């Protein structure tokens, strides 16, 4: 229909009262006879004499105008509270200081992250690899520095202008990422995997380091590998990626030769970094660990705690600080 019949707005209380009572007669005074209001005749009952008398006008009660009500609009959701990262604890444990000066350690991780970001996002002459934004940090055995490297890599990547970092504590049996950062934990990834009603984004902890958020390991269970192998894991990780396309996800996994979740996590990531403890990790242990991570096609080695550099280079001195 091209034309619409105009809709007459409903009469106000005053207009409806004026239709029933002649306010004009009341204003003109008793000199003028008021017009009687017609009453419907009943076919069976005679109209009483009193009903034939003119009906006196009745003044309607005054109706106060209703002031316009303000339009109530829903307020935007409040931002998540940001957890404070203990900078003093980081410096005491020789981690990268998010607001500190450039050091040899920070320069080393700048080089490491640049190669990983190139594979994740692509660049001139390089294509981004599938799920390259998901990076698994692993080691063959415990105490070889995987969590140290995972935290420092996350702190370094958080300074990027085009990316944000989500550091996931995936060492479900012995989680330590949050303790290293000095923040309290709570429900985490394993809770989201075990309970489909939980939105994993609600469990992400924002920190006061710009660009860095953390996802705790969550509840401990004897079925962590089975939950990781279930179809829901892929859906949860896809949700973490879709929620923020600029997000780089770093997983601190259990040691490959000490716990089975690492081999399953390798199926869900595009890149893996195998941390090798210089002069400690054996060749056979490294080979066995790499075979367990074969589900990931892009694995790089990161030499940790090396005391000697064959080239003699030492990062950090250029900025006026020792390594």
How does 46-62 read in b/e, with b if 16+ C-beta sit within 10 Å?
A: eeeeeeeeeeebeeeee
109 contacts 153 by C-beta, under 8 angstroms? yes
Mean pLDDT of the chain: 82
Residue pLDDT, tens place only, 188-231: 999 999 999 999 999 999 999 999 999 999 999 999 999 999 99
Mean pLDDT of 46-55: 49
pTM of the model: 0.73
CA–CA distance, 219 with 186 (Å, rounded to integer)? 8
Number of neighbours of residue 96 by Cβ within 10 angstroms: 22
Domain boundaries, given as residue ranges, for the chain: 92-307
Residue pLDDT, tens place only, 60-75: 555 555 555 544 444 3
CA distances from 200 to 59, 118, 222 (A): 66, 27, 21
CA–CA distance, 112 with 105 (Å, rounded to integer)? 11
**Which of the residue ranges 39-48, 128-137, 237-246 would you say has the lowest mean pLDDT?**
39-48
Count helices and strands in the chain by DSSP H and E runs: 12, 7
The backbone torsions φ and ψ at residue 178, rounded to the nearest 5 degrees and listed phi first, read -65, -35
CA–CA distance, 265 with 170 (Å, rounded to integer)? 9
What's the CATH fold of domain 92-307?
A: Rossmann fold (3.40.50)
Q: What is the pLDDT of residue 234?
A: 96
Task: Give me the residues paired with residue 277 across strands.
Answer: 304
């Amino acid at each position: 229909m091209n034309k619409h019949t105009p809709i007459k707005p409903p009469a106000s209380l005053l207009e409806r009262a004026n239709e029933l009572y002649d306010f004009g007669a009341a204003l003109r005074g008793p000199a003028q006879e008021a017009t009687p209001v017609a009453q419907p005749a009943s076919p069976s009952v005679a109209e009483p004499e009193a009903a034939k008398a003119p009906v006196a006008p009745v003044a309607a009660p005054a109706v106060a105008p209703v002031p316009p009500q303000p339009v109530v609009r829903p307020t935007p959701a409040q931002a998540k509270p940001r957890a404070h990262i203990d900078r003093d604890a980081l410096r005491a444990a020789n981690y990268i200081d998010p607001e500190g000066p450039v050091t040899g350690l920070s320069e080393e991780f700048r080089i490491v992250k640049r190669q990983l970001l190139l594979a994740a996002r692509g660049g001139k002459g390089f294509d981004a690899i599938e799920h390259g934004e998901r990076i698994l940090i692993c080691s063959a055995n415990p105490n070889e520095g995987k969590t140290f490297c995972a935290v420092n890599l996350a702190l370094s990547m958080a300074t990027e202008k085009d990316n944000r970092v989500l550091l996931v504590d995936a060492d479900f049996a012995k989680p330590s990422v949050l303790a290293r950062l000095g923040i309290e934990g709570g429900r985490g990834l394993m809770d989201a995997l075990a309970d489909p009603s939980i939105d994993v984004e609600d469990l992400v902890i924002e920190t006061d380091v710009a660009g860095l958020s953390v996802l705790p390991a969550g509840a401990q269970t004897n079925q962590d590998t089975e939950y990781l192998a279930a179809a829901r894991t892929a859906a949860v990780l896809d949700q973490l990626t879709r929620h923020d396309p600029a997000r780089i996800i770093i997983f601190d996994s259990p040691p490959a030769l000490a716990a089975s979740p690492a081999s399953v996590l390798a199926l869900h990531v595009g890149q893996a970094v195998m941390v090798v403890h210089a002069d400690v990790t054996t060749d056979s242990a490294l080979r066995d660990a790499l075979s367990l991570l074969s589900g990931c096609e892009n694995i790089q080695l990161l030499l940790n705690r090396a005391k000697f550099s064959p080239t003699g280079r030492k990062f950090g001195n250029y900025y006026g600080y020792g390594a």
